[in-house]
Structure 1
Amino acid sequence: MAAVQARGLYQFDGDASNGEISFLADEILTIVRQDIGEGWWEARKETGEQGLIPETYVELLSIPEPQFPPPPPPNFPVDLPVQTPTYNNVNHGDGQTEDWDDEWDDDDDQSSNSTAKQSYNNNNEPQGTGNFGLSAPKRERKQISPTSDMSKYGTVKSSFNRFSHFVKLGGDAYIMGQVNHEVRETDLIKIIETNDGPEWTPLQSPYTCTVSSPKKESKMKGLKSFITYHLTPSFSNIQVSRRYKHFDWLHERLVEKFICIPIPALPDKQISGRYEEDFIQERMRMLQQWIDRMVRHPVIAHSDVMLHFLTCTNDKKWKEGKRKAEKDPYLAGKFFLCLQTPPHSCDMKAVEAQMEVFCRFVMNMNENCKSIIAINNDFSKKHMGPFKREFQKIGHSYKNLSTTFALEEGAYSLQLTKAIDFMGDSYCSIGDMFEKQPPKDLFPLIESLSEYRGILQTYPDVLKVHEGAVGKTKDCLKLQEEGKMTDGEVQNVMQRADTISFGTLAEMHNFHHERVKDYKDMMQNYLKSQIEFYKQITSKLEASLAMFDNA
């Protein structure tokens, strides 16, 4: 097979400790492997030096003809008849059947959120070995420490290379002008300048969507069972039926396309007990929470893929829309081509300062939410255990006293005995009230805080894109000083970096606006419920007090 050769587009100073090699612009390299992953290839220089290079820094000069091995001999009798499985279609009552599921994996467990896949580690990453004697990339979720694996933006540094996330998402190719596509007017996303800074254009036609009516259905003559949910968007009031795997598909599309927008994870997969009523209702509530978040977002709410998910009821149109979404020309780094930004440029230092403050905010808020969740979890357990027991102990002690007083049957003592007995009943009832209170206020509060933790935990990857853009811009400014890039080339790089900054800042401000609204509602609802709870307790105590007026 002929060797694949590539020419350096830019100078690259490799880090030998990471197995990288350095090369110059226009230097010819021989590509040894193109399956390293994360935007890296293995190459060999004319001097014989061999190592990793970033694929976006080179262009291929020759592509050899593929050579295919001969097909293996059949290991089964060729005259055996082929049995074609028959599938049960799901009828939605409108004369159409939902057979488009057949394009998907049949098992709900095979999803991007599943923890049950074979040959993967505990974090859903493929097991594999490293290259050049290096350890394989470690992608386990790390505990973020202020002193160890931190980049200056507060995100975790990659232990494998310096550009992996930014390059992998196409950020490097975008900022160097290697991707270009004519963007239609309808695909443009306008960012406006406000007193608070760049913001997404507000939703012109806000809407809501309800998730309801979970139903167990099956196909393949009952061999495959699953739960469907009815989704009803307010702008059409037309009901569509979706399974968890369809939510999972939408989640993957949103994450792949909107790389400067944090997309919270879906509720976790569950292998056993997934058809139990409590689990189904809990999942439906969490899917509703996730949908609510998506349809409120000024960019996502009216995106083609979101509207397709919420409205398509036709089998043929679904497949067409599904293929269109998966071949979207504006995925990952190319998404920035769609952004229509304010005419002025960004102050790089001011933006960096804002990002550093925001990163500290995200980290601290994540820890705060974690702490409040833990404290309130403990508080809810006390409501349902110790608090209930203690109030009922108090109540029973007063009832025991009233039983003793009842031994004296004098008329002058009767009302006092009744009052003390009533007081004991009141305290027992208060104990029951404590047990029943957490689902009314503490659990909803914990659920809302947990949702925000899910959003916050996706932010490091979003911020790494901006960090990569800033780092790349600085590299280009250095090359300009060395006379290796022209003023025009650097200016173009800075303009594209500004676009990434505008998108990141717009999403940052959207997050803060949503946070203020959500936390206001969250705390108001919690306090209203608490006030009502303690009013009921006060009412019971006042009723007990009134009983003694006639004693």
Structure 2
Amino acid sequence: MEQQQQLQRSTSGSPRSPSSQPYLSVSVTDPVKLGNGVQGYISYRVITKTNLPEYQGHEKIVIRRYSDFDWLRDRLFHNYKGVFIPPLPEKSAVEKFRFSAEFIEMRRQGLDIFVNRIASHQELQHSEDLRTFLQADEETMERLRSQETGIFKKKPADLMQIFKDAQSKVSDIVLGKEKPVEESNLEYEKLKHYIFELENHLAEAQKHAYRLVKRHRELGQSLSDFSKAVKLLGACEGGALGKAFSELGTKSEALSVMLQKEAHQLLMNFEEPLKDYVRAVQSIKATIAERANVFRHQCELAETMKLKEINLDKLMLTRSYKMGEAEHEYNELKAENEEATRRFETIVRLMNEEIARFQEHKTLDMGIAFHEFAKGQVRLANSIADAWRSLLPKLEACSTQ
């Protein structure tokens, strides 16, 4: 995973190097558990290194918790319509998993990838909210999190429901269950179809990756249990057979440890990247829903303008005293429609740029993930074969006596 993170950073334009070139590099490190029970949470050190003039110094270290990262993502989603906001790693509600060493490390890596994707994004890296997140003291962040303005009056669960409803709405449009006002754009239809198909295929691959991890762990545990039983059997037998059984138990124990390590590597370098891309596609679907909403609003304004224009023409013909008020309303509506049109065109432009960037990064990340998976399976298969092969002469000698 660390190799994957380095590659992501190096290819995204945020080098940790030469001060002569603009750079913004972020590390999420040192997770620490604070509090107990439902009040417990994990804090992280967020280290920022940069030479950008808008930042306070070349290095800054702050303490952040998951809800701070969540705040940043909500702010970016609200302020950057049309941009695919990177997803956050999942938040486990089960305490025994939430505070396990494996889950904590998995989340730390996920948060590190999340914030570096933002820091390397040509639009998001200039966000004032990002600068606040990377530089503000803990009291300021706590105050910002507690502020409720606009969309942030909604509780997180309510906000997620809004996204789910919006995604469901887009799903209905794509599947033809509903026929509201929508874009008649072939490229946009292809994009929606691609995203929904991609989500299904990634989710299916991730499900089977999870099963592979589980299988490795179960086989490792079985070998561990087998090792104990064979060692006890060897102790009872004695002689050459007992020694052979003892070595069989030792090899089985070593292979058990190897399988457990490989299961962890498979989780971190294969299953988790797949799961991360499932979440990324869900973020894209939320952006698609925003685009559909803006388009519908623009169409509604255009229809209302037509009605206002017809009414204004009638009032001009009759020289009605209401003509001034009607003209004022029409001009206000025209300005609002022009703004809605600009907003929609911006979203379309950004989405076109974003999908090209997304596909480029996906190709790289998926290539790394599947390459690591294949290398791990080859390494494991060779190690297992070598371990059993080394035992064959001794076991064969016992079987021919």
Q: Percent identity?
A: 17
AA matched with 1:295: A
| Residue 310 (structure 1) shift | 0.8
What displacement does 1:473 show? 5.8
TM superposition shift of 1:217:
5.8
1:355 has 2:172 as partner? no
Q: Which residue is equivalent to 1:229?
A: 44
Alpha-carbon distance, 1:367 to partner: 1.7
What one-letter code is carried by the residue in structure 2 that aligns with 1:540?
A
2:262 aligned residue: 437
User: 2:339 and 2:137 mapped to 1: Cα distance?
Assistant: 44
The aligned counterpart of 1:370 is: 203
Find the counterpart in structure 1 of residue 375 from structure 2.
Answer: 528
- Give the direction of change, closer, same or farther, for the CA distance of 1:260–1:324 in structure 2 (3 Å limit): farther
Residue 310 of structure 1: aligned partner? 134
**Shift of the alpha carbon at 1:512?**
1.3
Q: What is the aligned partner in structure 2 of residue 207 from structure 1?
A: 24
Distance 1:512 1:461 in 2: 17
Q: Deviation per CA, 1:466-504, whole angstroms, max 9, x where unpaired?
A: 234444566678789998699x99998766543321112
- Distance change in 2, residues 1:206/1:509 (3 Å): farther
Q: What residue is the counterpart of 2:76 in the other structure? A: 254
- Shift in alpha-carbon separation, 1:252–1:467, aligned structure 2, 3 A: closer
Task: Identify the residue that residue 450 of structure 1 maps to in structure 2.
Answer: 275
Quick one: which amino acid aligns to residue 81 of structure 2?
I
Query: How far off is 1:545 after superposition?
Result: 4.5
* Pairwise CA distance, 1:360: 1.8
Check whether the contact 2:89–2:276 (CA below 8 A) recurs between aligned residues: no
- Aligned pairs (5 A) from 1:59-458: 205-215=22-32, 227-235=42-50, 236-263=58-85, 264-265=87-88, 267-268=90-91, 270=93, 276=99, 278=101, 280-313=104-137, 352-386=185-219, 388-389=221-222, 393=226, 422-423=247-248, 425-458=250-283
Answer yes or no: is the 8 Å Cα contact 1:308–1:321 preserved in 2: no
The 8 Å contact of residues 234 and 243 in structure 2, kept in 1 or not, is answered as no
TM-score by structure 2 length? 0.61
Take 1:276 and 1:464, find their aligned partners in 2: how far apart are those partners? 34
Higher helix share: 2
Residue 64 of structure 2 aligns to a residue whose secondary structure is strand
Q: Do the aligned residues in 2 keep the contact of 1:351 with 1:501 (CA within 8 Å)?
A: no
- Alpha-carbon shift at residue 462 of structure 1 (Å): 0.9
Instruction: Quote the Cα distance in structure 1 between the aligned partners of 2:376 and 2:275.
Output: 19
TM-score normalised by length of structure 1: 0.46
Cα distance change on mapping 1:433 and 1:541 into 2, 3 Å = same
8 Å CA contact retained: 2:269, 2:372: no
In the alignment, the residues of structure 1 paired with residue 71 and residue 306 of structure 2 have an alpha-carbon distance, to the nearest angstrom, of: 46
Which amino acid in the other structure matches residue 280 of structure 2? Answer: I
Whose Rg is larger? Answer: 1
* 1:501 aligned residue: 348
* CA gap 1:323/1:308 in 2 versus in 1, 3 angstroms: farther
Deviation at 1:455, TM superposition (A): 1.9
Query: Is the partner of 2:185 in helix, strand or coil?
Result: helix
Amino acid at match of 1:366: E
Q: CA deviation at 1:230?
A: 1.1
Aligned with 1:242: secondary structure?
A: strand
TM superposition shift of 1:288: 2.6
Q: State the match for 2:171 in structure 1.
A: none
Task: State the Cα distance separating 1:231 from its structure 2 match.
Answer: 0.6
Measure the CA separation in 1 of the matches of 2:121 and 2:133.
Answer: 15
Aligned partner letter, 1:309: F
The offset of 1:428, in angstroms, is 5.0
CA offset at residue 267 of structure 1? Answer: 3.5
Report how far residue 312 of structure 1 moved: 3.1
For the aligned residue pairs, the C-alpha RMSD in angstroms reads 4.7
AA aligned to 1:533 is L
Residues in 1 aligned to 2:224 and 2:93: alpha-carbon distance in whole angstroms: 38
Amino acid at match of 1:354: E
1:515 CA displacement: 1.1
Question: Is the Cα–Cα contact under 8 Å of residues 240 and 311 in structure 1 kept in the other structure?
Answer: yes
Give the deviation of 1:214 after TM superposition.
Answer: 3.2
Distance 1:381 1:302 in 2: 42
- String of CA shifts for 1:35-67, please: whole Å, max 9, x gaps: xxxxxxxxxxxxxxxxxxxxxxxxxxxxxxxxx
The C-alpha deviation readout for 1:103-123, integer Å capped at 9, x for no partner, is: xxxxxxxxxxxxxxxxxxxxx
List gaps (5 residues or longer) in structure 1: 1-200, 219-223, 328-348, 408-413
Q: Distance in 2 between matches of 1:292 and 1:493?
A: 32
Q: Aligned partner of 2:63: which letter? A: S
